[in-house]
Amino acid sequence: MEPYIADLLGISAPPDLPFGELWLGTHHAARALVRAKGARLTLDELIRRHPEQVLGKRTLAAGFDDLPFLLKILASGQPLSIQAHPDKALAGELHARDPKNYPDANHKPEIAIALTPFAALCGFRPAPAIRADLHRHAELAPLLAGLPDNGDWLRAAYRRLFTVDEAQVRAAGTALATKLAKHDERTPEDACFLRLWNHFPEDRGTFSAFFLNVLDLQPGEALFQAPNEPHAYLEGVAVECMANSNNVVRAGCTGKFIDRDVLLAMLTYREGAPDIMRGEALPHGRSYIPPVPEFAIELLDLPAGQPVELASDGLISILLVLAGTCTLQPAGQASLTARRGSSWLWPAALPSATLVCQSETGRVVRARPNL
């Protein structure tokens, strides 16, 4: 079975080559190419040549002179890093100080909409629940001994995990993993820790399984990640959309650059389960509207042969076909046909279009500014 993204694009994945992310946007790390009238140019170059026609007056008036969002498909077969994304002020500081590891000066709020069952860690659990789990496992006691019993316990405990001696991490994690492997009945936090430890043995980030909310999203459910909130995506396929940034501050469970001091200082340490977004009903699908101006997402399910009228509202859109073969009929122009895995740029100057799935039920993702 091909990886999801390779299958979506209709290509064969070379052995041992990960197909983890598909990007559609103008970020300099992977600029999208636009094909129009036989010519090919990068999307950012097209915007520079025709800013008002492509982005639209409203987008420009909101202060965006480039595509404000980055649309992705994320396909994770194993856990990804413990991480958070900086707000704008911190992003500017990090980029100025370390442009190699922080490649732009923008913040990175993001949404992940599950296309398959999707597992994640997100946000801190209530401190009493964390403490109860930690006390349940005597193996963890040496890591957290002597912490203040006050309102700052969560901050102090999470910092301790990322600063304690490596030998203590190795001893505590090995002992706990050995114990848990012998028991079939495990809490979600126990199972998550064991899963992380098996992928990243001796990594202190694995203990985040007891600190962060363990979530299992069903298709159509979504998580919004505000800046400075800890999270990790564990497994599954999702549509991601975010501000036009690739800034990630990592603390563990990765072979990539780790910046623990920055991450520990930036986190909000807000406690409680995150809101699960299920979207607002549309005539043919659902819309996901986060509390940021850069992006909103529509997940459109199209009955075969039934025309669906869409409007641009004077905003740029990117559409990606996830299922079926679809036709886009702009008003007064020739129709465009795209199979699964194809994407369209819908410029703001085009006021309306009709979308039709030809021979089977289709699914299309549409991303545009949230203005």
Catalytic residue numbers read: 250
Looking at the chain, list the stretches that DSSP marks H as alpha helix, in order from N- to C-terminal side: 4-9, 43-49, 51-55, 57-61, 88-97, 127-136, 141-144, 153-161, 166-181, 188-199, 208-211, 260-266
Tokens at 145, concatenated = 């001994």
How far is it, in rounded angstroms, from Cα 68 to Cα 107? 11
How far, CA to CA in Å, does 201 sit from each of 55, 164, 172, 177, 253?
Answer: 47, 16, 11, 9, 9
Q: How does DSSP assign 208-244, residue by residue? A: HHHHEEEEEEPTT-EEEE-TT--EEEEEEEEEEEEES
Collapsed DSSP state (helix, strand, coil) of residue 35: strand
Tokens at 255, concatenated = 């072979």
For 36, the enclosing helix (H) or strand (E) is: strand 33-36
Q: 271: burial class by Cβ within 10 Å (0-12, 13-18, 19+)?
A: middle
How far is it, in rounded angstroms, from Cα 221 to Cα 215? 11
Answer positive or negative: Cα dihedral of 176, 182, 183, 188.
Answer: positive
How far is it, in rounded angstroms, from Cα 3 to Cα 44? 29
Q: 298: burial class by Cβ within 10 Å (0-12, 13-18, 19+)?
A: buried
Q: How does DSSP assign 271-323, residue by residue? A: BSPPPPB--EEETTEEEE--SSSS-EEEEEEE-BT--EEEE-TT--EEEEEEE
How far is it, in rounded angstroms, from Cα 116 to Cα 38? 36
